[in-house]
Chains A and B, each alone.
Chain A
Amino acid sequence: MPANSFNNFTEYGIGIGLRVPHYRHILSQKPVVDWFEIISENFMVDGGRPLEVLDSILEQYRVVQHGVAMYFGSADRLSREHLKKLKRLVKRTKTPWLSDHLCWGSVDGRYTHDLLPMPYTFAAAKATADNIREARDFLEVPICVENVSSYAEFHASEMTEWEFLSEVVERADCGILLDVNNIYVSSQNHNFDPYDYLNNVPPDRVGQIHIAGHSKFEKYILDTHDHPVLDPVWKMYAHAVKLVGRTATLLEWDDSIPTFDEVHNEALKANQFVEKLENAPA
């Protein structure tokens, strides 16, 4: 049952990212998985094996698109060519919603292939929201924007990150993909309380949650997606679910990828928090 207009897919359950090392296992063993998240850009190609694999997956699984290169926060307008390619893929996957990041990553047609942090200002929020609206109108699919992990803050910022996220999604009237690992990573890098973040984003706009592992370095934490989810992140996840209710959740594991079963079992741990919540006395 939809929780609200931005969380229409509460029954989606726990998904995992579709990654190349698991293709063979998935296609031959056909494991039961609630849904797969694909990186849109990996399938925005004209033909060949990527699309063949995708079509086989689509025959048996629900797929949700997650992008890494729309760059809603870039000061430049979104590329029409990019949107057209993305729309072709949206039609193919029939993704029920689509996500990308609250970040920038390109200037004047040069691409950093990174999710760069935004200055948290009203002007930046407006520019970003305008881009999100344009994308949604063109793609005709609901959009959730994801908070990124960051390693730098700007002097220009006029508000906190969660205020900025709220400002953007209210202006764009879109959903949130809440990445609790990213919140944790940023809270450590920028000395804030991650629960202040969780408690202050509009819960009714959260349409999806990301969980992931990260790496600790001497002076900062890096969002590496190459570990199991760490305890503080699971605790935050439990808190987030308390605030937003049952929400489609996805485990990201992008590097040093272990076996399919290992990734899937790690993801399914999320269920215990949802069940705990639902079995708790009202």
Chain B
Amino acid sequence: MKRSKPISSSKSLKTPRLDVRSRAELKALQSLMATAVFRPLTAQDGMQPRWIDGGKTSDLASTFIKPNDRLTSFDRLEIYNRVYWFRVLDCLYDDYPGLRAILGERKFMKLITAYLAKYPSASFTLRNLGSRLETFLRDEPRWVAPRPELALDMIRFEWAQVVAFDDGARPAITPDDILDARPEKLRLGLQPYLSLLELNYEVDEFLVAVKKSESAVLRSEASNTFEAMPHASGPEKRIRLPKRKRIHLAVHRHDNMLYYKRLDPEGFVILTALREGASVEDACLRGLSSTKRIGIDWSEEIKDYFNNWASLGWFCRFSKK
């Protein structure tokens, strides 16, 4: 194709127009537009009228986006700004029904907006959008005041479900595979999709109640579609918040169905030790030394633990990574 004369030319010195004559200039244009797209919306779900430097966003938009007979440069850029925020907020809205029920809709929306403003998506897939929520809230617990502990418990629990849904599985080890192994030497790996959680609240029962009261939430698919800003539908039905109680949970899948299973504190200690690389013998010793329960035949109990965990397919070959 013959090189035609560029259409864009700097009409006024005040608003220089961005050219794209190299990969570097393409990058500059894309960085600028991405910065605009990632900026949070106003309370009225519009694009912020002021740019980062205090100038007008409309002036900035007109340096690179053409207006048409119906829309200004600002209007056109705003479409992308809105679509981005509707999409990412909608995704977290669906992925964190438990956290949403704890905080209430308004507070939840404020929190995830602040989170995404600080941590824009860093993955090609929306599946990972909430991956840094825990880090964010450990740094800025004010977003979940006055219940930071409860909120953190719920975030960890809900993220564990994302992991359990589609994280990898390695070939499972059966009791027969390790029949001859010596427990002081034997190390066992745990499936990547299995999460072990020590929590201060009974968030599992709470989430079951929340989900029952909501229609089943389907993981939304990645696609080139516009989605409406999620908003509360009608008055919120508040479910009684969970009581404070130390629990231990395994979040896992079986036959590709998601499950959460309460663990004895000792079982939790053993599994956590195995995950950290302890030998089976060491892990069991750690489990026993942690116990406060008396009158239990621990050799039987531990045998039951291992049979149960093996039958669920939780064990795999240990690898250092």
Residues of chain A touching chain B, judged by Cβ–Cβ distance below 8 Å, are 19-21, 39, 41-42, 44-52, 68-69, 74-76, 79, 82, 101, 104, 106-116, 119, 121-124, 126-127, 148-149, 151-159, 163, 166-167, 170, 189-191, 215, 219-220, 222-226, 252, 254-255
Q: Are A52 and B256 in contact (CB under 8 A)?
A: yes
How far does the Cβ of B176 sit from chain A's closest Cβ, in whole Å?
Answer: 23
Contact among A42, A107, A166, A225 for B27, CB-based, below 8 A: A107
Give Cα A220–Cα B76 distance, bound, in whole angstroms: 10
Identity of the chain B residue whose Cβ is nearest the Cβ of A51 in the assembled complex: B166
How far does the Cβ of B230 sit from chain A's closest Cβ, in whole Å?
Answer: 14
Q: Are A41 and B124 in contact (CB under 8 A)?
A: yes
Q: Are A156 and B124 in contact (CB under 8 A)?
A: no
Is B239 engaged at the interface, CB distance under 8 Å to the other chain?
Answer: no
Contact among B23, B125, B257 for A127, CB-based, below 8 A: B23
Q: Is the interface of B mostly helix, strand, loop or mixed?
A: loop
Identity of the chain A residue whose Cβ is nearest the Cβ of B5 in the assembled complex: A158
Q: If the complex has contacts A158-B4, A219-B70, A255-B227, are A152 and B65 also in contact, measured as CB distance less than 8 A?
A: yes
Q: Are B4 and A108 in contact (CB under 8 A)?
A: no
Is B71 engaged at the interface, CB distance under 8 Å to the other chain?
Answer: yes
Is B68 engaged at the interface, CB distance under 8 Å to the other chain?
Answer: yes
How far does the Cβ of A77 sit from chain B's closest Cβ, in whole Å?
Answer: 9
Is B43 engaged at the interface, CB distance under 8 Å to the other chain?
Answer: no
Give chain A residues whose Cβ lies under 8 Å from the Cβ of B26: 75, 119, 121, 123-124, 127
The number of inter-chain residue pairs (CB within 8 angstroms) is: 207
Give Cα A44–Cα B223 distance, bound, in whole angstroms: 14
Contact among B17, B73, B221 for A156, CB-based, below 8 A: B17
Give chain A residues whose Cβ lies under 8 Å from the Cβ of B77: 152
Central interface residue in B30, B79, B124, by most chain A CB within 10 Å? B124
Q: Are B224 and A116 in contact (CB under 8 A)?
A: no
B residues 2-17 in Cβ contact with A at 8 Å: 3-8, 17
Contact among A75, A76, A254 for B225, CB-based, below 8 A: A254
Is B143 engaged at the interface, CB distance under 8 Å to the other chain?
Answer: no
Q: Are B20 and A47 in contact (CB under 8 A)?
A: no
Give chain B residues whose Cβ lies under 8 Å from the Cβ of A47: 166-169, 193
Residues of chain B touching chain A, judged by Cβ–Cβ distance below 8 Å, are 1, 3-8, 17-27, 29-31, 33-34, 37-38, 63-66, 68-71, 73, 75-77, 79-80, 83-84, 87-88, 120-127, 164-169, 192-193, 218-219, 221-227, 253, 256-257
Q: If the complex has contacts A151-B79, A225-B224, are A123 and B166 also in contact, measured as CB distance less than 8 A?
A: no
Give Cα A156–Cα B7 distance, bound, in whole angstroms: 7
Q: Are B31 and A111 in contact (CB under 8 A)?
A: no
Give Cα A50–Cα B193 distance, bound, in whole angstroms: 14
How far does the Cβ of A171 sit from chain B's closest Cβ, in whole Å?
Answer: 9
Q: If the complex has contacts A21-B218, A47-B169, A68-B223, are A152 and B79 also in contact, measured as CB distance less than 8 A?
A: yes
How far does the Cβ of A219 sit from chain B's closest Cβ, in whole Å?
Answer: 4
How far does the Cβ of B17 sit from chain A's closest Cβ, in whole Å?
Answer: 4
Q: Are A220 and B79 in contact (CB under 8 A)?
A: yes
Q: Are A191 and B68 in contact (CB under 8 A)?
A: yes
